[in-house]
Amino acid sequence: MVNISALWEGLALGSALIIAIGTQNAFVLRQGLVRQHVFAVCTVCFGGDVLLISLGAGGLGTAFRANPLILQGVAWAGTLFLLFFAFRAFTRAARPQALTPGAAGETGESLGAAVASALAVTFLNPHVYLDTVLLLGGVAARFAGGERIMFACGASLASLLWFYGLGFGAARWSRLISRPGTWRVIDIGIGLMMAVLAASLGHWAWSHS
């Protein structure tokens, strides 16, 4: 029987990684505010995440499980990464900023240009590979079979909810997400979530060492 907690852990970690101020989110926000090619842009960002999450949880996850020493090393590295991300989130909370669309460019793009920009902010960002392939793949490696699939589905669900929610809800939520205080609360929540996940992964790595 598949443990559904793997789904929730994937959803939690995926949410913690994706909900942050960055170029990709600012671009999706801008497209939502100007109501231009929102579905196409959100689909590109979501599809890119699913591809990379599948690569990390599937191919790399299988490779990690085939070698216990590599698996333990990745688990410890993942624990350190999670602690680093928790620290970074708490640092952002201490000096909160607002997520604004201004830095993402001007309006009036064609569909092709918008899709090309979405591909660029998705695949030319080195952090996306660290987050999805290495970190999510490393955490997923401790799950076997169906549980690993559930974990990947949870992480993909986080991407689905965030990108389409941000893109299509941008106009409605623009005032809220443009307030630094809102991001202070979000970053504190992300930091706590990362710390809990780091403790869980570290405990697993310790018990299998």
The pLDDT of 18-28, averaged and rounded, is: 77
pLDDT band at 45 (very low <50, low <70, confident <90, very high): very high
Alpha-carbon span 86 to 140, nearest angstrom: 19
From the list 111, 118, 90, the residue with the least C-alpha distance to 185 is: 90
Is 70 within 8 Å of 64 (Cβ atoms)?
yes
In the chain, % of residues over pLDDT 90: 20
Please say if the pLDDT value at position 70 is more than 80.
no
Domain ranges of the chain: 5-204
Per-residue pLDDT tens digits for 132-179: 877 888 788 888 878 889 999 999 999 999 999 999 998 787 777 778
CB of 170 closer than 8 Å to CB of 41? no
Confidence of residue 105 (pLDDT cuts 50, 70, 90): very low
Q: What is the pLDDT of residue 35?
A: 81
C-beta separation of 119 from 43 below 8 A = no
Q: Which pLDDT score, from 0 to 100, does residue 100 have?
A: 62
Max distance between CA atoms of the chain, in angstroms, equals: 55
Does 202 or 104 have the greater pLDDT score?
202
Nearest to 141 by CA among 91, 96, 77, 191: 77
Pairwise CA distance, residues 171 & 116, whole Å: 23
Which residue, among 91, 87, 93, has the nearest Cα to 195 in the 3D structure?
A: 87
Q: pLDDT-based confidence at 195, cuts 50/70/90? A: confident
Stretch 93-98: mean pLDDT, rounded? 80
Which one of 47-56, 73-82, 118-127 scores highest in mean pLDDT?
47-56
| Residues in contact with 77: Cβ distance below 8 Å, sequence separation at least 6, in sequence order | 134, 138
pTM for this predicted structure? 0.71
Which amino acid appears at position 45 of this protein? C
